[in-house]
Each structure stands twice: as structure tokens, then as C-alpha cells.
Amino acid sequence: MPRLAGQSPEYLQNQLQAFIDRRRTNPVMFNVAHVLNPSMQKALADHFRDLNPRPLGGAPRELVGEGKRIYQEGVPAANVPPCASCHGPEAKGADAFPRLAGQLNDYIIKKLTNWDKERGQQKDQPDNSAIMQPIAHDLTEAQIRAVAAYVSYLE
């Protein structure tokens, strides 16, 4: 389960709609999201925006330095842009791009590792998650673990 504290309302509402439209696959979230009317979606999104997203820690600290480098500089040899270019220099997200600061280490690893299986299921209805597909695909397992560790400690 992701930490939703501090996420932008636009991002959360977009993701709820993605579950409804089956552009994201998760049977539990589909069952939750499809019963929410637009005003309920907005209220939930506003509620989570206002929660304290302080990091919980627990990721391997020795990976943080490499994760920071990848987050800020990308991986030019693999055509992977800096994460900061979309998620912001402090990983706080913006608009439809999610906050990564303080996100759970294991959640980031799982999502980046399984991006192709969980996102963009409706090829005729692409959303901004399509931007991440080649990036997630081109990161190595070690790079994914490093980025996950780095963002998990950010406030």
C-alpha cells in the first residue's frame, strides 16, 4: 500500500479514475474507486493532501547517495531522465505527478519493477503514467532500489 499523505489532489483523483477506467489494475482499488462519486473523490484527495507526509525510514541508507544521483541526474547512458524533472527537486510532485518524498521504500521498488503489469492497461486511453513506462523499464534493479531508498527518506 502506498503512503497517500501529502499527495496532490489532482494526482489522487487521476489515479482513482485510472482504477475505475482499468488503466491501473488492482481489484481492491477498483472496488473502492468505482463507488466514489466525484465529490467524494475530491474530498478524499483534499484530505490526503493535508496529512503529514513525514518519512518513516527503514530503507538501506547505503543506497541513498546513488539514489540521489539518479534522482537528480538520471542515467544518461540508459536514456533515463532525472526523476526531479517531473517529480520536482524535492520529490514533492506537482499536479498530475505524484509526490515521492517519504513514500515507502518497498512500494516504490514494487511499482517501478512491475510498471508494465500495473499501469497503462488501456492503450487507447493513455495518461501521464505512459511517460514512466520506458523509464521504469530502463532502470536496473539496483538503480530502482537506490532511488527508492533516497526518496523514502525525503521530507
Within a 10 A sphere around the Cβ of 106, how many other Cβ atoms?
Answer: 13
Distances (CA, A) of 114 to 35, 59, 124: 26, 19, 20
- Over the chain (155 residues), the average pLDDT of each successive run of 10 is 92 89 85 93 94 92 98 96 96 90 96 78 64 89 98 96
In the prediction, which pLDDT does 1 show?
85
Task: Please give the grid coordinates belonging to residue 66.
Answer: 546513488
Domains of the chain, first to last: 9-153 (1.10.760.10)
Among candidate residues 3, 93, 12, the one with its CA nearest the CA of residue 54: 3
CB burial class (10 A; 0-12, 13-18, 19+) of residue 96? middle
In the prediction, which pLDDT does 125 show?
63
Helix axes 38-49, 9-20, angle to 10 degrees: 140
Per-residue pLDDT tens digits for 77-97: 999 999 999 999 999 998 889
- Answer yes or no: are the C-beta atoms of 33 and 16 closer than 8 Å: yes
Residues paired with residue 35 on neighbouring β-strands, in sequence order: none
DSSP state, residue 51: S
In the prediction, which pLDDT does 127 show?
64
Among candidate residues 95, 97, 62, the one with its CA nearest the CA of residue 83: 97
In the prediction, which pLDDT does 122 show?
58
Total-model pTM: 0.88
Among candidate residues 138, 133, 131, 137, the one with its CA nearest the CA of residue 75: 138
Measure the CA–CA gap between 71 and 52, rounded to whole angstroms: 23
